[in-house]
Amino acid sequence: MKDEEVLQKTRTMVIDTISQNMNLYGITPSAGRLYGLLFFSDKPLTLDEMKEELGMSKTSMSNSIKSLLDLNMVEKVWVRGARRDLYTIKEDWYQCFFDFFKIKWRTAIMMNSSAMEKSISKLNDLIADPSTSEEIREHALTDIDKLKERLEYYEWQNRLFDTFQTKEILKFVPIDKKKE
């Protein structure tokens, strides 16, 4: 096997694995292949270059690049003299990880917390209503306890994500960059 073939096979193996795991980020395997292509590229690429390399449709390519941009995993770059948009991966993987939590998890926490707070309010109204049966009142109180416990968990998650945003987490889990 020629050296170039070995190089290409190792890159393909990594790109395939990345594309299979992109569901963790809520995006498609094709976006993962695109990310892998950009990862191994030695220069920023246009949509046309990526389309040609991956054999994806222009629509699929645009959707994939948008997903990666929304997650702050890739960025549009300016190159003097270039007339088309160029894209590259963001090199700071730690920041990408932090951004992912800020973007995805905070949104989910906010939506869940809002629904739970509204439910607690309605359950309190139900409990306060004199026509509510004792059995329903007991179930409502149990539900309120469960919801409050979950809201405490979400508050803990928010504090954790605050440490990502401020990078205070790195005091406890430092980025170990040993020089060899």
Measured N-to-C along each axis, helices 47-54 and 58-70 cross at an angle, to the nearest 10 degrees, of 120
107: helix, strand or coil: helix
Average pLDDT over residues 23-40: 88
Domain membership of residue 77 as a residue range? 3-89
One domain for residues 117 and 76? no
Number of domains forming the structure of the chain: 2
Using the predicted structure, report yes or no on whether residue 139 has a pLDDT greater than 60.
yes
Partners of residue 76 on adjacent β-strands: 87
pLDDT of residue 140: 96
One domain for residues 98 and 83? no
Confidence class for position 168, pLDDT limits 50, 70, 90: very high
Last residue of a domain, one of 89, 115, 136: 89
Q: Residue 41: phi, psi to the nearest 5?
A: -75, 140
One domain for residues 85 and 127? no
| DSSP state for residue 45 in the 8-state scheme | B
| Encoded tokens for 25 | 């980020």
One domain for residues 69 and 140? no
Q: Do the strands 86-89 and 74-77 form a parallel or antiparallel pair, or are they unpaired?
A: antiparallel
Average pLDDT over residues 3-22: 90
Which amino acid, one-letter code, is at 169? Answer: I
Q: Any idea which of 25-34, 121-130, 154-163 has the lowest mean pLDDT?
A: 25-34
Residue 179 domain-assigned (yes or no)? no
C-alpha distances in angstroms, 41 versus 11, 44, 49, 88?
11, 7, 11, 8
28-42, 50-64, 134-148, 155-169: which is most confident:
134-148
